[in-house]
């Protein structure tokens, strides 16, 4: 069965960077795009970006451009999301979310499997 297992909670100081991992299993790693979505405490979902595992191309949300980097390691079936220059407003649960079979715009909407989430706390 499809599983997305994320790394554990992190506490970071303002200005630092955080790297969250998402290990995929139960499906063909290079066949499905992966998105990153975050949720601030008590708030809604916010789309951050997408990575196509083959060939590793990315598209980032305008709000995060210049601060986020999404990568993947095909040898370990793991995705990574690094967010830099952290500020208190980045405190949130970060999710990886897979898109199933899709084409065009549906690749940005239909998230069929989600990781368990990683809480990132930014505090001095």
Partner 1 sequence: QSALTQPASVSGSPGQSITISCTGTSSDIGGYNYVSWYQQHPGKAPKLIIYDVNNRPSGVSNRFSGSKSGNTASLTISGLQAEDEADYYCGSYKTRVTGVFGGGTKLTVL
76 binds partner 1 (CB under 8 A): no
What SS3 class is residue 96?
A: strand
From 8-16, 65-73, 74-82, 97-105, span contacting partner 1 (CB under 8 A)? 97-105
Residue length, the chain? 124
Strands (E), the chain: 3-6, 10-12, 18-25, 34-39, 45-51, 58-60, 68-73, 78-83, 92-99, 111-114, 118-122
Under rule CB under 8 A, residue 82 binds partner 1 = no
**41, 57 in Cβ contact below 8 A?**
no
94 binds partner 1 (CB under 8 A): no
Binding piece for partner 1, criterion CB under 8 A, among 9-17, 24-32, 67-75, 103-111: 103-111
Positive or negative CA dihedral for 27, 32, 44, 65? positive
Only one of the segments 20-28, 69-77, 83-91, 109-117 lies at the binding site for partner 1 (rule: CB under 8 A); that segment is: 109-117
Q: Of 8, 41, 55, 62, which lies in the binding site for partner 1, with binding defined by CB under 8 A?
A: 62
**Site residues for partner 1 per CB under 8 A:** 35, 37, 43-47, 50, 59, 61-62, 95, 97, 104-112, 114-117
């Amino acid at each position: 069965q499809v599983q997305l297992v994320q790394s554990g909670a992190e506490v970071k100081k303002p200005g630092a960077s955080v790297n969250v991992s998402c290990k995929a299993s139960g499906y063909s790693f290079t066949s499905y795009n992966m998105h990153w979505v975050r949720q601030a405490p008590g708030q809604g979902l916010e789309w951050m970006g997408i990575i196509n595992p083959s060939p590793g191309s990315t598209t980032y949300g305008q709000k995060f451009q210049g601060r986020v980097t999404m990568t993947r390691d095909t040898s370990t079936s793991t995705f990574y999301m690094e967010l830099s220059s952290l500020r208190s407003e980045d405190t949130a649960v970060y999710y990886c979310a897979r898109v199933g079979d899709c084409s065009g715009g549906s690749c940005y909407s239909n998230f069929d499997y989600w990781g368990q989430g990683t809480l990132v706390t930014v505090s001095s």
